[in-house]
């Protein structure tokens, strides 16, 4: 229900989660880059699907989700490095 009521905003947590998974699996730089490429590519791909629509707002919100994931995962990695081995 939340996703239906919030339209484009649902892309933010979706792409933040995707970004976290990609960063965890591939590292900060590659995971972030791939997440941004997916955010843009999936939206641009909708230009060729008759029942879907392209939206710049969707791209910005999706990319914001990936950037939030990058910032969070980067901060966590920095904190973990500073803390030292456990």
> What pLDDT was estimated at residue 5?
64
pLDDT band at 52 (very low <50, low <70, confident <90, very high): confident
Which alpha helices (H) appear in 1-86, and where do they start and end?
2-6, 11-26, 28-45, 56-83
Specify the higher pLDDT residue, 5 or 80. 80
* CA-based end-to-end distance of the chain: 42
Q: Residue 28 CB: number of other CB atoms within 10 A?
A: 15
CB 32 within 8 A of CB 72: no
Largest CA distance in the chain: 53
pLDDT at position 9 is: 86
Q: 41 near 14, Cβ under 8 Å?
A: no
């Amino acid at each position: 229900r939340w996703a239906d009521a919030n339209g484009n905003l649902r892309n933010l947590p979706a792409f933040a989660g995707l970004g976290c998974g990609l960063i965890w699996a591939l590292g900060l730089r590659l995971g972030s880059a791939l997440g941004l490429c997916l955010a843009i590519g999936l939206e641009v791909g909708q230009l060729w699907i008759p029942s879907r629509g392209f939206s710049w707002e969707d791209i910005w919100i999706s990319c914001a989700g990936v950037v939030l994931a990058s910032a969070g995962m980067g901060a966590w990695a920095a904190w973990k490095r500073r803390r030292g081995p456990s």
